[in-house]
């Protein structure tokens, strides 16, 4: 399908792909761990840990000797983060414009952030309208890098793997996509370096390269708003 002629569905990662959320996640983490004497994290520290979901994120930061405070730290994180999702978080440049250009395709988000938080964040940034389905870490029994959430999106939208691609900024996205039989596209501007992304089928440096990659040379001319209505099923 590498000429993308039969493409029906584009699946996106959220953090590090559609939105730059590092500062808000860092602030929530620092609030969560503050009572336990841990050194405050920088954004650079945080983005190295992000990707495997909240529980794993907290576990990495607390270490093996602090299991007793894990649940409380997670609760503190959720309570704070849910109220500060978009204090600093913004879509990456050209994201909204590119999503609109891609209106002819079904689109989904698969995040390792919890589903409710993913949807709330997308709503607050005005991006939810672009997506047919949004799944989070708690939407299916397994999260990325498992292909399970990818397969769930395919099932919900009735799309064959050969007619879908996944776009993300980490090896978790690449592994999940390949495991489900999708073409994988990695973006270099997110939370991982280019070396981590070398397993992807394609690598792009900006989201607005995606329409050209999939063969939409006529992209500026096809922004027909009447055909861009999303019929959300999840």
Residue-wise pLDDT for 92-142, tens only, equals: 999 999 999 999 999 999 999 999 999 999 999 999 999 999 999 999 999
Alpha-carbon distances of 52 from 60, 69, 94, 102, 157, rounded to whole Å: 10, 19, 26, 28, 25
Residue boundaries of the structural domains of the chain:
9-20+89-227, 22-81
How far apart, in whole angstroms, are the C-alpha atoms of residue 169 and residue 189?
Answer: 8
- The fold adopted by the segment(s) 9-20+89-227 is Rossmann fold (3.40.50)
Catalytic annotation, pick one of 13, 15, 171, 173: 13
Is the whole model's pTM more than 0.75, yes or no? yes
Q: Residue 111: phi, psi to the nearest 5? A: -120, 155
113 preceded by cis ω (within 30°)?
no
Dihedral of CA atoms 119, 120, 121, 123 in degrees, nearest 10, equals: 80
What average pLDDT does range 59-76 have in this prediction? 85
User: Residue with structure tokens 């584009």?
Assistant: 10
Question: In whole angstroms, what is the distance from residue 160 CA to residue 180 CA?
Answer: 10
Q: Specify the pLDDT at position 221.
A: 47
Matching residue, tokens 């990662």: 13
**HSE (side-chain half, CA atoms, 13 Å) at 203:** 15
Which of 187, 194, 153 is CA-nearest to residue 173? 187
- Considering the segment(s) 22-81 as one domain, its CATH architecture is Orthogonal Bundle (1.10)
Residue 2 above 70 pLDDT?
Answer: no
Cβ-contact 124, 85 below 8 angstroms:
yes
The predicted structure's pLDDT at residue 113: 92
Active site residue 13: yes
* Residue 120 structure tokens: 């709330």
């Amino acid at each position: 399908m590498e000429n993308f002629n039969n493409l029906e569905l584009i699946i996106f990662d959220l953090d590090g792909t559609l939105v730059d959320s590092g500062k808000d996640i860092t602030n929530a983490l620092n609030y969560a761990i503050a009572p336990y004497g841990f050194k405050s994290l920088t954004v650079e520290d945080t983005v190295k840990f992000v990707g495997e979901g909240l529980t794993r994120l907290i576990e990495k930061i607390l270490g093996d000797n602090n299991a007793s405070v894990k649940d409380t730290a997670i609760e503190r994180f959720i309570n704070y983060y849910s109220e500060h999702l978009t204090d600093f978080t913004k879509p990456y440049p050209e994201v909204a414009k590119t999503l609109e250009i891609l209106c002819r395709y079904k689109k989904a988000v698969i995040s390792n952030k919890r589903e409710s938080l993913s949807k709330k964040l997308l709503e607050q940034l005005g991006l939810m309208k672009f997506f047919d389905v949004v799944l989070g870490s708690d939407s299916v029994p397994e999260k990325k890098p498992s292909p399970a959430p990818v397969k769930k999106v395919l099932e919900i939208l009735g799309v064959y793997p050969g007619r879908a691609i996944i776009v993300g900024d980490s090896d978790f996205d690449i592994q999940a996509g390949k495991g489900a039989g999708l073409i994988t596209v990695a973006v270099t501007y997110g939370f991982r370096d280019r070396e981590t992304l070398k397993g992807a089928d394609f690598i792009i440096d900006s989201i607005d390269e995606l329409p050209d990659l999939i063969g939409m040379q006529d992209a500026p001319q096809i922004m027909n708003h009447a055909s861009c209505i999303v019929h959300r099923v999840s």
